[in-house]
Structure 1
Amino acid sequence: MATAYSIEEEQLSPAACFSLLAIVLLGTRFVQGFIFWGGASRRLIYDYQDTAGIDHALKLDFQSAGFVAGKLTHALPGTLWIQAPLEWALQYPDLIVLSVWFWTIAELLVGLFLIFGFVTRLAAFASIGLNVALMLIFGWMGSTCLDEWTMAVSGVAMSGAVYLAGGGRISLDNMVGRTDWAWRNGWANWLLSGPLPTRSARVGGALLAAFAVLFTVGSYNILFGAVVSPLHARVTFHKHHIALSNVVVSSDGGVTLDAYVDAGPDTGAAYIIDVRLIDAEGNAVSHWDGATLAALPDTSIQNLYPYVWASRFRTEKIGISGNTGAKARIVLPAAGSDASQPGRDLVLVLEAINGATWRAAASSGG
């Protein structure tokens, strides 16, 4: 015998609908807020070190190796569309410090406002912006599960949903929204919480959903392919690569070159243990082994970002290392050869400890 089930339809007012939607997304609102709160609090509260009797927040101390802007230099090789402005900004220490503090305060406020539901919609909109910025800078990184890309696209979708729902009853907005000021200003709900015009909510929901879909699929295709092209990384985060340019052989046989670690995991470095200048037949004209490279004076490596926290080239016991994002002009001393003879086709070859090699044609500097 068939059993008939009936579901009683409950007619909800617009205010009740938005309140219910906010309750459904309460966990989402809290999680997104806590992510940003966690990022800010790790710098402002939890990572301190006593130096000469003074507590220093390591991630906010420009003189500390743990200064948070170091992540920017690691991320530069794969940054989308804003690499030039970032490289420019990294030339000015005061601007770097100002930017780090601006980002930290933004994360702190957005995180706390979402957690407690204060100016919820404005905070959610700002959260969308922060996640887009994270994608542009760090989206290509992640050595295991596309970590940064996943965080950014999830954050955009979550923040869009919270923007539409608002804070609901469990929020500070619920108290502010009951004030005469909120009732007199109809636009207040667009910043705080509460019901929105039905048509506006439908259009806004469709637009935010479309943006989330395009942002997710578009960024995935740009960074990793596998949408309209085979799977490939725009900039690989698995293996280091060093781009060589402006290789010039001086009159005394020394070599000057520009080197840039433009790919690879930010958690490690490329280790160069051998450099050779070879002719068209592959014969070594000049040679610098690991011991010679390790003995280079500091003046032979001119890093574009000389800060203690930045990606840099430096000497090691086995040769030279360069972190992802490191960019420098390197001067190799004369190796007692006739490499400077004009008209010779010469190629500079760098060899890493893992056997990888990188090369570029050399020209005579006279």
Structure 2
Amino acid sequence: MVLSLGLLSVRVIQGLICWGGGSRRFIYGTQKINPHSAHWMANKFQTAMPGALLGLEHVISFMLQHFWLLYAGIIIFSAAELFVGAFLMIGLFTRISAFISMIFSVLLMLMFGWQGATCIDEWTMAACNLAMGATIFLCGSPHYAVDNILLRKNPSWEKSWLFRWCGGSLSAPLGDSGYKKLALWTLLFVVVFDIGTYSHYRGSVVTWFHSGPVSPTKHHISLDSGVLNPDGSVSFHAYLNAGTPEAPVNIMDAWLINSQGEKVAHWDTRMLSAIPAANFHNDYDYNKFKPALYGIEGEVGAKATITLPATAEPQKDEMPLTLRLVDSRGAEFSITLKEKTE
């Protein structure tokens, strides 16, 4: 039992990490749960979309379009973090709290694990927290814990299957063989999940290092539904589906190019900055595409239908046309336009 004192640092810091997430929103930085604040958690949530795994991109999108579900989800998740963190730090219902912290780690890995421009910070945190949570779940933490006080006041709980699974004062209600199987299956899950996601995000396991299927550093804009309207304006749908959430992308030039490669129309930075806000129909109310000082600005996860005003006479005779967007770093994003008839 004395050796289990070594688990105290793991339990307390795992609890502090969870507590920190919840307390920042409820106590120290309440603007994070204020829908009218620029720091509202929905903005951070939206940045997870491009690299989210196992279809969570669609779940996030659905929540972003249904405020009541989004707000309830953020409040419930934050409250769960707050209580799980507090319970782990004081050793209350230690084993079940550790298991819930493992669920947090899996969810955060699947949503945010792709982010981290220099050393995949989000993967590192989720991977370590999953292993720490698994350790406390398997071993409990019987020292300096409220679970001990509960057990002293209720000695009959020593034989309770429920208390043994929830608390950390006693071993799990399994024989040696059953515990060994649980420990090894847990090890297998943690190792496969952590190494598998690392390989997916950065390689360096059975393949060479790579920047991931979704880059956390270079912005990328996916374009679809490009249309040349009868009045010469151009409409298209854009999705900023890669890049760092720490800085927006700025589209500073837009060109129309005919099949001979000739540039037949141009919107420069000044013209893009002057586009009316009404020409931007964003899919979500949080991270958006919008006119800004340096052309069109977009934040990671933003989706919008954008209309560029006509620059000259309609270009119907030049069809097929390609719309080419150029950002501040010189990256180009193109789409072939279809002609829209009245």
How far residue 319 of structure 1 moved from its aligned partner, in angstroms, is 0.9
How far residue 203 of structure 1 moved from its aligned partner, in angstroms, is 1.7
Alignment of 1:210-229 (within 5 A): 210-229=188-207
Give the structure with the larger helix fraction: 2
Of residues 315, 320, 323, the one that matches 2:291 is 315
Which residue matches 1:352? 327
Alignment of 1:1-366 (within 5 A): 19-47=1-29, 57-81=30-54, 82-178=56-152, 179-193=154-168, 194-196=170-172, 197-232=175-210, 233-306=212-285, 310-341=286-317, 344-366=319-341
How far residue 129 of structure 1 moved from its aligned partner, in angstroms, is 0.4
* Farther off after superposition, 267-276 or 186-195: 186-195
Query: Does the aligned pair in 2 maintain the 1:252–1:340 contact within 8 Å?
Result: no
Residue segments in structure 2 that go unaligned for 5+ positions in a row: none
How far residue 229 of structure 1 moved from its aligned partner, in angstroms, is 2.6
Amino acid at match of 1:333: P
Query: Does the aligned pair in 1 maintain the 2:8–2:143 contact within 8 Å?
Result: no
Amino acid at match of 1:136: L
1:258 partner SS: strand
Amino acid at match of 1:201: Y
- How far apart in 2 are the matches of 1:238 and 1:185? 52
* Farther off after superposition, 291-300 or 174-183: 174-183
Query: Does the aligned pair in 2 maintain the 1:312–1:323 contact within 8 Å?
Result: yes
How far residue 352 of structure 1 moved from its aligned partner, in angstroms, is 1.0
How far residue 186 of structure 1 moved from its aligned partner, in angstroms, is 3.3
* Farther off after superposition, 106-115 or 21-30: 21-30
- How far apart in 2 are the matches of 1:181 and 1:147? 45
Deviation track 1:65-120 (CA, whole Å, cap 9, x = no partner) reads 11112111111100112111110111011111101101110100110111011000
- How far apart in 2 are the matches of 1:20 and 1:145? 37
Query: Does the aligned pair in 1 maintain the 2:98–2:134 contact within 8 Å?
Result: yes
Q: Which has the larger radius of gyration?
A: 1
Amino acid at match of 1:257: F
* Farther off after superposition, 239-248 or 283-292: 283-292
- How far apart in 2 are the matches of 1:115 and 1:147? 24
Deviation track 1:134-171 (CA, whole Å, cap 9, x = no partner) reads 00110000112110000111111111111111121210
How far residue 21 of structure 1 moved from its aligned partner, in angstroms, is 4.6
How many residues in Structure 1 have an aligned counterpart in Structure 2? 335
Amino acid at match of 2:209: L
Residue segments in structure 1 that go unaligned for 5+ positions in a row: 1-18, 48-56
- How far apart in 1 are the matches of 2:203 and 2:23? 35
- How far apart in 2 are the matches of 1:20 and 1:69? 45
Closer/same/farther in 2, CA of residues 94 and 70 from structure 1, 3 Å limit = same
Closer/same/farther in 2, CA of residues 337 and 230 from structure 1, 3 Å limit = farther
- How far apart in 2 are the matches of 1:80 and 1:290? 35
Query: Does the aligned pair in 2 maintain the 1:286–1:337 contact within 8 Å?
Result: no
Deviation track 1:252-294 (CA, whole Å, cap 9, x = no partner) reads 1110000111100010011111111110122112211111111
Amino acid at match of 1:303: N
Query: Does the aligned pair in 1 maintain the 2:230–2:314 contact within 8 Å?
Result: no
Closer/same/farther in 2, CA of residues 83 and 89 from structure 1, 3 Å limit = same
How far residue 63 of structure 1 moved from its aligned partner, in angstroms, is 0.9
Amino acid at match of 1:93: F
Query: Does the aligned pair in 2 maintain the 1:135–1:148 contact within 8 Å?
Result: yes
Amino acid at match of 1:355: G
Amino acid at match of 1:180: P
- How far apart in 2 are the matches of 1:146 and 1:271? 24
- TM-score computed with the length of structure 1 as normaliser: 0.89
1:112 partner SS: helix
